[in-house]
Structure 1
Amino acid sequence: MSALAVRAKRLALQLLGAAGTAGLVWLFGSLEARWVAVTWVCLVPWLLVLDRVDSRREAVLSGVVMGLVFTAAIFGWFPEALRSYSGAPLTLCWLALLALAPFMELQFITFALTRYHLRRTTREDPRAFWRVTLAGALVYVGTEWVSPKLFAETLGHGFIASESLRQGADIAGAHGLTLVLVIVNTCVLEAGRVLVAHGVREGSRRALAPVAMGAALVLACFGYGQFRYRQMAALESPTQQLTVGVVQANITKYEKLAAEMGTYDVVRMILDTHYRLSAELLQNRKLDLLIWPETVYPTTFGTPKSDAGAEFDAEIREFVSRAEVPLLFGTYDLEQEREYNAAMFLGPGRNGTLERSAYRKTMLFPLTEWVPELIDSQWLRERLPWTGYWKRGPGPQTMALQLGGGRAITVAPLICYESIFPSYVAEEARRGAELIITLSNDSWFSGTPAPKLHLMHAAFRSIETRLPQVRVTNSGISALISSTGEVLAEVPDDHRASLAVTIPLTPRVSTLMVAWGDWLSPTALVLSAVLLLAPSLLARRKAREATQ
């Protein structure tokens, strides 16, 4: 067989292994409970072929292939969404996604290199399996922390469909679940390899260590999850509740509507729709708070740019006064010619007046909402016409909302993209938040898996901080999420509806994620470096001592 044929055969084998793993990840990526068990074996097909590589170059190739196949399988919907948003050709959108895949999924490359290196250099070490397994898992998680991610994805997100397993996220976030997943997968592979090589009788004895390790981790996750779930349920009190109104009007593509109807008529339609849906809620029950989604009022509030804007501002204030309900809504906030994407609160003040406060979005999506000043130029904006002009807010903040009847609540406000950052939300929780409120606009991804993925991220933020959450979007998915990550009520994607939700408030519960933020990922990076470098450094030191 020629050298070219050999290389083609080995590449085909790598593609087959990567496709097997990507297919299993795609199954539990549906976030359905029936596929959760797949997580424990999802990496096995790729690991089988990865362990057959015979050079660093081939290990890198295996990681690159896995990253490409993984990206195409899990984010195959993204190029079409990007084409719809930017107007770029679909082929170009696909090429951009695949070109970035090795960088976005860099963990597959570093994991492959680590596993190849340690399996080759520790063959005679009786602790080789433990070192290879632990170092590989730490490298995987640590690399994810430094890799640019499309949706901050990690394999541990697949546990969201399990009531018990997802509770472990309050210790080390979704990356902690990924660490467990990678270790258990390598244990499954090792146990299977030993059984095949030595038969059931002898192999069972040799496989005892990896089986025990994998089983202990799985049982520990289930046990901890059940403990936390019951603990949080016991803390809920029927006397400590908040009734919140959620409005999802399903009005999308403001720019296109403005071009067809005119800006004034579009704003008029948006506000009238939200007034009507809000009035329907208020007819049936009294609300402590009413929430409209991100950028629902698509101009600056409080600093109008026109007479029509001043009229709309006054109209919103009049609505809040007349309805006697505090309102939190998405708009723009202007200060010294700097414009911010903001969450604006209008609530009861002294002497019957309305008090106003605002939260300004900090984590802006690069090259759409915000362009770094270092690269901002007319040349760039001419080629990327969708780039935004918003400025970054001051960082994690809480808002003290004055409600009716003298009640007050401290909330952790988030706008859209901010909900995917664990440390950001943890900082708001440390500042005394009792409830997370997320305003979002996912309309560009309507009809794709993105709204469901965004909801999943939101659920993890509630688990990590043990705070309930109200998530309000313009086109879906709006939801009430409990402190255990359960979606208690929702308005689906591409639906128009108003919804009143009763939020069960609980006493604050301490978690490692609130105390330390996303602590595992940088720790994993440091520990993996120690595991990889310490043996060679110790060997060199012993060699120097022996020659002295």
Structure 2
Amino acid sequence: MSRIRSLSEFVIALISGLLLACSFPLPGLSLLAWVALVPMILIMARRPFVTGFVAGVGFFAFSLYWLNIVMVTYGRLHPLLSLVAYLLLVLYLALYFGLASWLSCRLSSRLGYPYAMTLPLIWVALEYLRGIVLTGFPWNLLGYSQVENLAMIQSADLVGVYGVSGLIVLSNAVIAAILNWFGHRERRFGQVRYVLLLLILVVANLVYGTWRLGGQSDAGKPIKLAVAQGNIDQTAKWDIANQVHTVETYLRLSKRAAAEGADLAIWPESATPFYLQDISPPQTAVVKFVQNAGISLLTGSPAYEQHGADFRYFNSAYMISPRGRLADRSDKVHLVPFGEYVPFSRFFPFIDKLVYGIGDFSAGEIAPLDYDGKKVGVLVCYEAIFPELARAYSKAGSQLLVNITNDAWFGRSSAPYQHLVMAQVRAVENRRWLARAANTGVSALIAPDGRVVEQSKLFEEAVMTGPVFMRDQLTLYARFGDIFPLFFLVVSLVWIWQSRLRK
């Protein structure tokens, strides 16, 4: 009987994680997030860590399945090694779910606090740490599940995506408490305050969100942007023989945009697969186009700096002025571990032999690009998943955010859509227009309220043009950053210390 019970609890926890994964693209059933953790919470008291850990395995295994596509198809890793790496990452990420469950139960039993009080705080604190520890991987934070409900994410300009995550966890904990209260009439009155708290916060969030959606306006003269999506085959992208075709594709798309009156054309990450700083036939073709069209061009390109006999390489974005001058350069700040560099390469010199195409890039610094006296903050590739980077660009004076990326690695999976919703939240957090240029999609023009004004399809050539506005005002979140999760982290640490005193 005990084994059957343990197995049933295992299945329930796994289902809880799978339901939560379904609230993210794809399929993106956002309402599921508000109840998906309820089964896990109802059973976690008996085996807290295991229950949370199993739910985490279900969530990350389902929502990050596309990692195998990246490692096998493009990293050319053996399928067996890819599976091992994928499972290790899933098990690592599931630890955060396990810790949240275990700590919540521990604090509830030792300090007498209900789950509705402990779980949201601990969950948010651990989500925040997940974005920092081991270079950070804040992919699919709970708050991102609500992007389809624009009113629910507008408060991100106050408390960031972590605030939305906390509200979702509170909902799950309160619903679980309501189900537990049946048959325990004496407990109901004392716990009803958490139901009221949830209702107040949800209503306040919706009222604020509705107000923000209806009250935003842009001032000044708009800039007509053109976002080009070349749909260049990833397997041939870095082939020298393919450089002419790549450049011709982007020039053809951009000439169409220039004819429609575009002021600034944006090409994706590494759209020019050569050193733009060096004169060459494809470089000359790009410069001549800009001069003839009389527009500015922001494009991704590799770059290098020479210091004596040493070279440093960067994943960069250039701003080319209408005169054809390389006016400014911004380098990627947060590099992809085991993709653009090998962490602790002195200790693991063999890793770059296991995976094809690992780079040896150096990290840059926050440096907005100058565009006609205005500032543009460029997030390269998965930098868009880090809230602190977009915030840093806003604080550095960026009036427009741009995300250039190459999501061809993800294939026709849910990853490009998951990546897109994170960029949408960056727009809301900073109240900036955000232009997203992706080699194979999804490219988009995103309004400051997170609304996608225009969006491309996957693996198709496309060029999108539309007006955007420069914005100067800093949001509360842009000014003060992640004080919300930091406060929750401090409170959690204080509770843990108190619980140790009450053994």
Whether TM exceeds 0.5 here: the answer is: yes
Partner deviation per Cα, 1:349-400 (whole Å, 9 max, x = no partner):
5xxx63521111111101111124653775333233321122211x212111
1:48 is matched with which residue? 42
Which of 127, 140, 146 is the matching residue for 1:159? 146
Contact 2:18 2:58 in 1 (8 A): no
The alignment covers a number of residue pairs equal to 495
CA apart distance, 1:31: 6.7
Decide whether aligned partners of structure 1 residues 209 and 519 sit closer, same or farther in structure 2, where only a CA change above 3 A counts: closer
1:512 is matched with which residue? 476
2:346 is matched with which residue? 375
1:543 is matched with which residue? none
Which of 230, 246, 253 is the matching residue for 1:270? 246
Once the two structures are superposed, the pairs formed by residues 380-391 of structure 1 within 5 Å of their partners are: 380-391=351-362
Partner deviation per Cα, 1:486-543 (whole Å, 9 max, x = no partner):
10001111111112111144x4333222012233333322111112323665x79xxx
1:60 is matched with which residue? 49
Which of 103, 121, 140 is the matching residue for 1:138? 121
Residue type of the partner of 1:303? D
The separation in 2 between residues aligned to 1:376 and 1:272, in whole angstroms, is: 43
The SS at the match of 1:13 is: helix
The separation in 2 between residues aligned to 1:377 and 1:111, in whole angstroms, is: 32
CA apart distance, 1:19: 2.8
Contact 2:75 2:357 in 1 (8 A): yes
Partner deviation per Cα, 1:202-256 (whole Å, 9 max, x = no partner):
7875663232122112112111211222232xx224x521101111110121447
| C-alpha RMSD of matched pairs (Å) | 2.4
CA apart distance, 1:100: 2.6
Which of 293, 308, 322 is the matching residue for 1:323? 293
1:12 aligns with 2:2: no
Contact 2:77 2:354 in 1 (8 A): no
The separation in 1 between residues aligned to 2:404 and 2:275, in whole angstroms, is: 17
1:345 is matched with which residue? 319
1:416 is matched with which residue? 381
The separation in 1 between residues aligned to 2:83 and 2:484, in whole angstroms, is: 33
Partner deviation per Cα, 1:96-123 (whole Å, 9 max, x = no partner):
222232322332111221232233334x
Partner deviation per Cα, 1:234-282 (whole Å, 9 max, x = no partner):
x224x52110111111012144772xxxx1x300100111111112222
Decide whether aligned partners of structure 1 residues 189 and 23 sit closer, same or farther in structure 2, where only a CA change above 3 A counts: same
The SS at the match of 2:33 is: helix
1:526 aligns with 2:497: no
2:233 is matched with which residue? 252
The separation in 2 between residues aligned to 1:377 and 1:205, in whole angstroms, is: 58
Contact 2:17 2:57 in 1 (8 A): no
The SS at the match of 1:105 is: helix
Contact 2:155 2:209 in 1 (8 A): yes
Which of 207, 212, 237 is the matching residue for 2:196? 212
Identity %: 25
More helix by share: 1
2:404 is matched with which residue? 439
The separation in 2 between residues aligned to 1:166 and 1:88, in whole angstroms, is: 38
The separation in 2 between residues aligned to 1:441 and 1:504, in whole angstroms, is: 25
The SS at the match of 2:398 is: coil
CA apart distance, 1:145: 2.3
CA apart distance, 1:62: 1.7
The separation in 2 between residues aligned to 1:354 and 1:36, in whole angstroms, is: 46
Decide whether aligned partners of structure 1 residues 377 and 65 sit closer, same or farther in structure 2, where only a CA change above 3 A counts: closer
Contact 1:359 1:397 in 2 (8 A): yes
Contact 2:427 2:434 in 1 (8 A): yes
1:491 is matched with which residue? 456
The separation in 1 between residues aligned to 2:348 and 2:278, in whole angstroms, is: 27
1:466 aligns with 2:440: no
Contact 1:298 1:332 in 2 (8 A): yes
1:21 is matched with which residue? 16
Contact 2:342 2:351 in 1 (8 A): no
The separation in 1 between residues aligned to 2:380 and 2:25, in whole angstroms, is: 25
CA apart distance, 1:32: 7.1
1:172 is matched with which residue? 159
Decide whether aligned partners of structure 1 residues 361 and 476 sit closer, same or farther in structure 2, where only a CA change above 3 A counts: same
The SS at the match of 1:161 is: coil
Moved more, 184-193 or 457-466: 184-193
2:258 is matched with which residue? 282
Contact 1:80 1:90 in 2 (8 A): no
The separation in 1 between residues aligned to 2:446 and 2:297, in whole angstroms, is: 20
Residue type of the partner of 1:135? T
The SS at the match of 1:375 is: coil
CA apart distance, 1:412: 0.8
1:545 is matched with which residue? none
Moved more, 223-232 or 411-420: 223-232
The separation in 2 between residues aligned to 1:458 and 1:133, in whole angstroms, is: 30
The separation in 2 between residues aligned to 1:73 and 1:11, in whole angstroms, is: 22
Highest RCO, 1 vs 2 (Cα 8 Å, sep ≥ 6) = 2
Contact 1:250 1:474 in 2 (8 A): yes
Higher Rg? 1
Moved over 6 A (4+): none
The separation in 2 between residues aligned to 1:517 and 1:373, in whole angstroms, is: 29
Residue type of the partner of 1:44? V
**TM-score (structure 2 length as normaliser):** 0.92
The separation in 1 between residues aligned to 2:385 and 2:494, in whole angstroms, is: 29
The separation in 1 between residues aligned to 2:286 and 2:202, in whole angstroms, is: 53
Which of 166, 170, 174 is the matching residue for 1:183? 170
The SS at the match of 1:281 is: helix
1:312 aligns with 2:314: no
Once the two structures are superposed, the pairs formed by residues 110-149 of structure 1 within 5 Å of their partners are: 110-122=99-111, 125=112, 128-129=113-114, 132-147=115-130
Moved more, 247-256 or 459-468: 247-256
Moved more, 151-160 or 470-479: 151-160
2:59 is matched with which residue? 70
Moved more, 369-378 or 246-255: 369-378
The SS at the match of 1:177 is: helix
Decide whether aligned partners of structure 1 residues 355 and 535 sit closer, same or farther in structure 2, where only a CA change above 3 A counts: closer
The separation in 2 between residues aligned to 1:535 and 1:362, in whole angstroms, is: 39
The separation in 1 between residues aligned to 2:80 and 2:43, in whole angstroms, is: 30
Which of 85, 92, 100 is the matching residue for 2:89? 100
CA apart distance, 1:133: 2.7
Contact 2:275 2:302 in 1 (8 A): yes
The separation in 2 between residues aligned to 1:398 and 1:104, in whole angstroms, is: 33
**TM-score (structure 1 length as normaliser):** 0.85
The separation in 1 between residues aligned to 2:80 and 2:488, in whole angstroms, is: 37
Decide whether aligned partners of structure 1 residues 480 and 256 sit closer, same or farther in structure 2, where only a CA change above 3 A counts: closer
